[in-house]
């Protein structure tokens, strides 16, 4: 739960092997992603619906937009996490028994991590610049839809904070029977739970 939930991962998980500055950068970038992707879904049809409904946007029309933005943002976030998080690399080094090999691998992994961090910050800067330009333009042109955009963004963000709560229970439903099996004959069930946990 602490790994998959963005707020818990950023502010409450302090004993992992990821840099706090990178985790905070990921959090801010994720929120900017939600804001911008929700803005992308405000099409001519959306504006027409807002106009017809006298400046309001019925919640039933918002549900698909919120779901789409949550899915797209989760996908982009997973790519950004791959570029920025160092925990898996360090855990692999800790599992190695040969000290000379660990030192040799650590030097290589340090270079790899530095390159990954460099590309993460370059990519983040480009994305944030684009988001700033897009949101500024959107809010300047569509002044009457700013509140609706902010509401949609917070609903998408809230949804992304809620779905890990349910999604992380699913692997446990498969893993617990496999671990409690007296004959230890449910390896397939345990492996399946590991696959589900990767989602």
Q: Hey, CA dihedral for 64, 67, 72, 75, is it positive or negative?
A: negative
Of 108-112, 120-124, 128-132, least confident by mean pLDDT is 108-112
Count of beta carbons in the 10 Å neighbourhood of residue 20: 12
Query: What is the rounded distance in angstroms from the CA atom of residue 139 to the CA atom of residue 38?
Result: 13
- Residue 59 pLDDT more than 70? no
Please state the pTM of the whole predicted model.
0.72
- Residue 152 pLDDT more than 90? no
- Residue 126: the pLDDT is 92
- Residue 33 pLDDT more than 90? no
Query: What is the rounded distance in angstroms from the CA atom of residue 134 to the CA atom of residue 129?
Result: 9
Domain boundaries, the chain: 6-168, 170-199
Percent of the chain with pLDDT over 70: 77
Q: 129 is written with which tokens?
A: 């610049």
pLDDT band at 130 (very low <50, low <70, confident <90, very high): very high
pLDDT band at 129 (very low <50, low <70, confident <90, very high): very high
Percent of the chain with pLDDT over 90: 4
Per the rule left: phi > 0, alpha: psi between -120 and 50, beta: everything else, 162 is: alpha
Instruction: State mean pLDDT over 96-124.
Output: 82
- Residue 133 pLDDT more than 90? yes
- Residue 110: the pLDDT is 81
Phi, psi dihedrals of residue 98, rounded to the nearest 5°: -80, 115
Query: What is the rounded distance in angstroms from the CA atom of residue 138 to the CA atom of residue 57?
Result: 17
Q: pLDDT tens digits for 72-93?
A: 887 888 888 887 877 777 777 7
Kindly compute the dihedral angle of the four CA atoms of residues 104, 110, 116, 121, in this order, to the nearest 10 degrees. -170
Angle (nearest 5°) at CA 19 between 15 and 21: 125
Question: How far is it between the farthest Cα atoms of the chain?
Answer: 71
Helix (H, G, I), strand (E, B) or coil at 103: helix
- Residue 35: the pLDDT is 85
- Residue for token pair 């790994």: 3
Cα Rg, the chain, nearest whole Å: 21
Query: What is the rounded distance in angstroms from the CA atom of residue 88 to the CA atom of residue 116?
Result: 13
């Amino acid at each position: 739960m602490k790994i998959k939930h963005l707020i818990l991962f950023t502010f409450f998980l302090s004993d992992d092997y990821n840099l706090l500055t990178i985790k905070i950068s990921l959090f801010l970038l994720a929120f900017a992603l939600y804001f911008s992707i929700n803005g992308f879904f405000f099409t001519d049809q959306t504006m027409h619906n807002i106009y017809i409904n006298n400046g309001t946007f019925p919640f039933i029309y918002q549900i698909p937009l919120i779901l789409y933005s949550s899915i797209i943002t989760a996908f982009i976030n997973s790519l950004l996490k791959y570029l920025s998080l160092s925990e898996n690399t360090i855990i692999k080094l800790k599992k190695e028994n040969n000290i000379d090999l660990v030192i040799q691998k650590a030097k290589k992994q340090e270079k790899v991590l530095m390159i990954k961090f460099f590309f993460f910050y370059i990519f983040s800067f480009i994305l944030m610049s684009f988001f700033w330009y897009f949101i500024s333009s959107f809010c300047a042109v569509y002044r009457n839809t700013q509140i609706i955009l902010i509401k949609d963004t917070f609903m998408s963000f809230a949804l992304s904070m809620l779905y890990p709560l349910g999604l992380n229970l699913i692997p446990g439903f498969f893993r617990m029977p496999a671990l409690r099996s007296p004959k230890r004959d449910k390896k397939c069930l345990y492996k399946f739970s590991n696959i589900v946990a990767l989602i």
